[in-house]
Amino acid sequence: MNIADVVRALAGFAWLAAVGLGLMMIMRVSRNQAARGLSSLTVGVLVIAVLLTALGAGLVFINPEERGIVISALDSKGYRTDALTPGLHWVVPGAERVELYKISRQTYTMSVAAQEGQITGDDSIRARTKDGQEVFIDASIIYAIDTTKIIQLHINWQNRYEDQVVRPTARNAIRDAVSQYGVEEIVSTKRAEMETLITDAIAQKMSENDLVLVDFLLRDIHFSDEYAAAVEQKQIAEQQAQQAKLVVEQKKQEAEQARQVAQGSADAAVIASKGAAEARLIQAEAEAKANELLAASLTPELVQYQYILRLAPGVQTIFIPSGNQFILPLPGESGTTTQPTTPPVTP
């Protein structure tokens, strides 16, 4: 309750008091009782009630989120050129009145949901795309009154600006923008661009009508049941194709892995074969070298000695007559034996 309301309440109490005192004065007069003092009090209270009523009728309190337009019969234009700012003001009762306007931000919503928007029921914007598809758009417009043009707004629109400016401007801008894009573009690559186009168009039109666009919200885009079903089928087909592609890729990877495993096994076998061949070659070279060294170290006496050992491993001493042939010919000899120079052969 502001001070203007307090003054009006006091005026009401003063009028009640004046009426009550008047009734008491009439009752005293009817009973032939003195009513001089009571009549003076009644007149005083009545004067106070009239003054408070006049004061209360002219007091206007403007809240911080409001501005007041004074419609005045005392001005040649019919209104005061300056709007009333927040605070307490006084206008001439009977000759002036105040029209209040909210300057705080307001939201106008158009939605398919029954209780979301200003209009009950489906209030979404129906539009057609460049390729002829029908779409339904939910949107919200956040706006405010331009405080520097509030008097002109009152002259042009009064309180009709929401229904006659905000709503038709937004719906028309949305339809115009949607018609410039294909249905695939407005739901994917061109959605942000379309929002910018709509925002600029609404902002310009509202500025021409003494309003300020704060923000445009493209809440949702939905389609007819037939098109939605077609889109769903397309998405399912794309998902299946993507799944098949993944399966093919997986099979390729498995085949490549198997090929690499086989190649690794083959390479290992080749390396093992090469290693075995090289080892065999080294062994053969070692044996040849050993045989070569062995052949170089053989003498007739050593051969004869080894031969005797193999004939009789336990023999400690053999006597060979001087000048006589050896008991048996050595392997590879014709039967002629070279006589040893010493009689005994002792291992």
In the structure encoding, which two tokens stand for residue 273, read together? 């074969």
Within 13 Å and on the Cβ side, how many CA atoms surround 263?
6
- pLDDT band for position 346 (cuts 50, 70, 90): very low
Residue range 9-61, pLDDT digits in tens: 887 888 888 888 778 777 777 777 666 667 777 778 888 888 888 777 788 88
| Closest among 212, 234, 214 to 223, alpha carbons compared | 234
Top-confidence residue, 304 or 76: 76
In the structure encoding, which two tokens stand for residue 31, read together? 């009973």
Residue 314 has pLDDT above 50, yes or no: yes
- pLDDT band for position 331 (cuts 50, 70, 90): low
Percent of the chain with pLDDT over 90: 32
Mean pLDDT within 275-303: 76
Q: How confident is the model at residue 340, as a pLDDT?
A: 46
Residue range 117-156, pLDDT digits in tens: 778 888 899 999 998 888 999 999 999 999 999 999 999 9
Strand ranges inside the chain, DSSP E: 59-62, 66-72, 87-90, 96-102, 106-110, 125-128, 134-145, 211-223, 318-319, 344-345
Rounded to whole angstroms, the Cα distance separating 287 from 26 reads 158
Residue 324 has pLDDT above 80, yes or no: no
